[in-house]
A and B are shown apart, each in its own frame.
Chain A
Amino acid sequence: MRSWGVEQKRREFAEFYAAAKDDCLRIVLVSVGDRQLAEDLVAEAFTRAWMSWRTVRDHPAPRAWVVRTALNTHVSWWRRKRREVPLADAEPAAAWQPAGVDDALASAVRALPARQREAIVLRVFFDLDTEATAALMGISPGTVGVHLHRALGTLRTQIPSLLD
């Protein structure tokens, strides 16, 4: 038997959604580089969060749950899309290009493997420390350090100006 009422559940979810939706969208946007896709992924993740609200509510980092679900869904949709009919005339969606960022740097970040890119995004864009990044990614702080070290090594090689 449920120990909480429907209204309380709705209120909790609404409060969580209002507080977390923009941050989750920004993290996913930076990771996937497509605004439309990011919105769909985050909406999908929040839909699943509501469907499993008791689990998500008790999760140590509910926002991390949403972000991870969105990014995992991205992988799932990408795999599915590979099997679908090619878009004969459709142009690929323009990648989101943040203002004031060097094209080469933005491209290099996007070209990183997914987990390395996530570590960079969370540490650099959102100023999270290693522990918070680990919680969000669902991995240990040590593994965050490994992903980060490899990502920075790649960026150092591809963007020598970072060393200036």
Chain B
Amino acid sequence: MNDEEVLAALRSSLGGAKDSLADVHLDRSADAIRARARGRRVRRGLAGAGTAGVALGVSLAFTVGGGSGATARSVHVNLDAWSVNTLPGGLVYLDVRELVQPALLRQTLAQAGVPAIVTFGEFCTGPSGGDTGNLDQVLGKAAPGGAPKLTIRPAAIPAGSELSIGIVSVSKQGLAGLDTSFGLVKEGSRLTCGQPPAGQAAGVGKKGPRVPGQTGPVKAKPTASGGSGVAVPVKTTPAS
């Protein structure tokens, strides 16, 4: 049997696989791809300008309550780009340093009991414009005295809903940070995704990131939960 005959046998054997590929689609928009590239250019530009001391980062802490139908378990995933770690007492700590591998981050959060939709470079909202009625209960206050953290109670996420987490890179006065958006959306609903308004994305709007005067990571301390001292703003009604 020569190579061509073996190839033909392989094609026959793998026919089912070819059929199953017909349902494989990449659902990300071209706008999301461009936004991701734009954020990367900003970071590279900053590094080239000698501002490497200003690291990008968003730190969130999640309280795993095992609610909303999600199965929570101990998770410890530490990549160069981001980390998800279950802490003693049921907390899950998320630290994002680079906006890469959002699908894997979503999968990891799901394993930690947080049903989430993660988008880098754009914000997404559900058909009704974002059901944020319970968001204040889902997003807890930062622990006093500690590093900026956001607590999330998965038990407060309504059954059949997911937490939408959108993170985009922003720049202000030549320095960069991250802008984060949260929302609750129904599972399986069609999402409307888009970039924040240009002024905001460029960090020139009122909700641009605070740029620390000292070097060190820019940590997220969202206000949707009622926290104060915003480093990275949180919008409960993402811009389309």
What residues make up the interface of A, taking CB atoms closer than 8 Å to B? 10, 13-14, 17-18, 21-22, 24-26, 29-30, 35-37, 39-40, 42-44, 46-48, 50-51, 80-81, 84-85, 87-91, 93, 98-102, 105-106, 120, 123-125, 127, 148-149, 152, 155-156, 162-163
Among B28, B30, B75, B107, point to the contact of A14 (Cβ < 8 A): B30
Q: Are A100 and B30 in contact (CB under 8 A)?
A: no
Residues from chain B with a CB closer than 8 A to the CB of A149 are: 3
Size of B's binding interface in residues, CB under 8 A:
45
Rounded to whole Å, the gap between the CB of B26 and the closest CB of chain A is 4
CB-CB under 8 A for A156 and B24, given A43-B33, A85-B78: no
Q: Are B17 and A47 in contact (CB under 8 A)?
A: no
Residues from chain A with a CB closer than 8 A to the CB of B6 are: 152, 155-156, 162-163
Among A84, A105, A163, point to the contact of B79 (Cβ < 8 A): A84
Using an 8 Å CB-CB cutoff, how does the interface string of B56-78 with A read, 1 for contact, 0 for none?
Answer: 00000000000000000111111
What residues make up the interface of B, taking CB atoms closer than 8 Å to A? 1, 3, 6-7, 9-11, 13-21, 24-26, 28, 30, 32-34, 36-37, 40-41, 73-80, 86, 100-104, 107-108, 111
Among A85, A99, A156, point to the contact of B1 (Cβ < 8 A): A156
Q: A21-B25, A37-B103, A88-B74 given; name 20 further pairs at CB < 8 Å.
A: A10-B34, A30-B17, A35-B24, A39-B28, A40-B100, A40-B102, A40-B104, A47-B37, A85-B78, A87-B76, A89-B75, A89-B76, A90-B111, A91-B111, A98-B17, A101-B14, A101-B17, A127-B11, A162-B13, A163-B6
